[in-house]
A and B are shown apart, each in its own frame.
Chain A
Amino acid sequence: EIVLTQSPATLSLSPGERATLSCRASQSVSSSLAWYQQKPGQAPRLLIYDASNRATGIPARFSGSGSGTDFTLTISSLEPEDFAVYYCQQRSNWPRTFGQGTKVEIK
């Protein structure tokens, strides 16, 4: 099973700041990685697929990069609605797995 390790567990930032979230895979997943945002009491929302492609309707301040084992989600300038938990997910190998999440909280 591919283990996805997200860091940091919690990121404390202020609105307007840049957020950089990391996802490291225990073995290569090529570019088969997605990022999701989840707010309390809500379902996850797809942000990025295939490592760097924004999903429909996702603002340009969200960007993804990486391949192989190291991936990054960048939020260029945090808006108040961006404070949430973010998960990475791989579809390269069985079973499909998610990371444990990074919480982006208001500093």
Chain B
Amino acid sequence: QVQLVESGGGVAQPGRSLRLSCAASGFNFSNYGMHWVRQAPGKGLEWVAVISYDGSNKYYADSVKGRFTISRDTSKNTLYLQMNSLRAEDTAVYYCAKDRLGITYYFDYWGQGTLVTVSS
């Protein structure tokens, strides 16, 4: 069955960096677009970034553009999110999510999430 397992969350000071990972299994990772979606504590959902099945296309929410970088390693079936210049408003649970098909922006499987707290 499809499994997505995030790691790498934690506490970071404003302006510092973190890298999140998402290990995928149970499906052909190289065939699907992959996303990061976040949820601030007690708040709703915010789409963050997407990467195409082959890594050739990447798109970002304006709130993270220029600071975050999405990437993937097909040999390791792993998705990444490099987060630089972190801000307090980046505090959230970060979910990796599989696209339903190529890049449809429908998220049919989600990981359990990893909490990122940005605080001094």
Q: Which of B72-80, B84-92, B99-107 contacts A (4 or more CB under 8 A)?
A: B99-107
Interface residues of A in 1-60 (CB under 8 A from B): 34, 36, 42-46, 49-50, 55-56
Contact among A42, A44, A97, A100 with B107 in the assembled complex (CB-CB below 8 Å): A44
Q: Contact at B44–A46, with CB atoms within 8 Å?
A: no
Q: How large is the interface on A (under 10, 10 to 19, 20 to 34, 35 or more residues)?
A: 20 to 34
Q: Interface SS of chain B: helix, strand, loop or mixed?
A: loop
Residue of A nearest to B109 (CB): A46
Residue among A36, A44, A50, A55 with the highest chain B CB neighbour number at 10 A: A44
Q: Taking the complex as formed, is A64 at the interface, i.e. its CB lies under 8 A from any CB of chain B? A: no
Interface residues of A in 61-96 (CB under 8 A from B): 87, 89, 91, 95-96
Q: Knowing that A44-B95, A87-B44, A95-B61 touch, tell me 10 more A-B residue pairs with CB under 8 angstroms.
A: A43-B111, A43-B113, A44-B45, A44-B107, A49-B104, A87-B45, A91-B105, A91-B106, A96-B47, A101-B44
**The 9 residue pairs across chains A and B that have the minimum distance between CB atoms:** A91-B105, A43-B110, A98-B45, A49-B106, A96-B47, A46-B108, A96-B105, A100-B44, A34-B106
